[in-house]
Amino acid sequence: MERRAIELPSTEAGDVEGAELTFIGTATVLLRYGGFTLLTDPNFLHRGDHAKLGYGLRSRRLTAPAMTIAELPPLDFIVLSHHHGDHFDEVAAAQLDKRLPIVTTDHASRKLRGQGFAAAVALDTWESQLFVRGDASVRVTAMPGKHGPGALAALLPPVMGSMVEFAEAGRTTLRLYITGDTLVHDRLGEIPRRYPEIDLGLIHLGGTRVLGVLVTMDAEQGMAALRLIRPRTAVPIHYGDYTVFKEPLAVFEEAVSRSSLPTVIRTLGRGETYRFDPARLAERDTGPAQDS
């Protein structure tokens, strides 16, 4: 099911041949491509601040975001995996433009509307929201996600992954999969059946544990997800930023080094920008990332 398209106002034409992905920290990524600019999971708490995780649980931020909200370029929309304090915080709630469309879960949409974000868009799994600007478009489709095992899942906010598809004159030019804070679960297997060709993946890692229980992917689960989904290139995010993130990125990097994983792994430092040509990305481009 696809919701009614949102027509975006005209801007200066973007370079459809080039894309820029900037890692700001946690699961916050700025993506500019094809004349569109989007932000994922806005988390702008300062180092030392505490993210609210619900039920009185909090986690201290260990890093500073690489950008402030004031330093962001004009945004077209936001993709939000779920409403947790390390993904949408009080800084984001206070400083982001309340008119921005935010594509997210029904639970998060209701929370956002209560915070004044009237353009929040609620998607069920496999539902889509299309954004259109002239002959160019971006389609965001909600992917299945599961934040925790068993009974713990009921205590955590619903989470979604996202498939973000850029098109020009009806032709898909870039397909991006964002895992969201999911664990590997049975429903993920439907993704490669529906989307056998995925250019780029943003993989939420961190081995996050709440009360000792794993609630985001660790290295083992991240590798399993990549083998299942098979993006051509993947960028690991959501690690090392909070005390609740228990597994360092080095564990994942070691697992990758010992594997025959066909996916190209791009590790970005906070504030680093990966500039790429999606056509070359499809050919497993191995050019260097560049600082923003």
pLDDT class for 288, splitting at 50, 70, 90?
A: very low
Residue 79 contacts residue 55 (beta carbons within 8 Å): no
The per-residue pLDDT for range 113-128, each reduced to its tens digit, is: 999 999 999 999 999 9
pLDDT class for 17, splitting at 50, 70, 90?
A: low
Q: Write down the mean pLDDT value for the chain.
A: 92
**Of residues 100, 52, 61, the one with CA closest to residue 80:** 100
Which whole number is the average pLDDT over 271-290? Answer: 71
The per-residue pLDDT for range 57-116, each reduced to its tens digit, is: 899 999 999 999 999 999 999 999 999 999 999 999 999 999 999 999 999 999 999 999
Strand 28-33 vs strand 161-168: parallel, antiparallel, or unpaired?
Answer: unpaired
This prediction has a pTM of 0.93
Structural domains in the chain?
Answer: 6-183+268-285 (3.60.15.10)
Q: Which helix (H) or strand (E) holds 111?
A: helix 106-114
Tokens 């564990």 identify what position? Answer: 251
What is the 8-class DSSP label of residue 198? -
The per-residue pLDDT for range 198-254, each reduced to its tens digit, is: 999 999 999 998 778 899 999 999 999 999 999 999 999 999 999 999 999 999 999
Query: What is the Cα 254 distance to its own chain's centre?
Result: 23
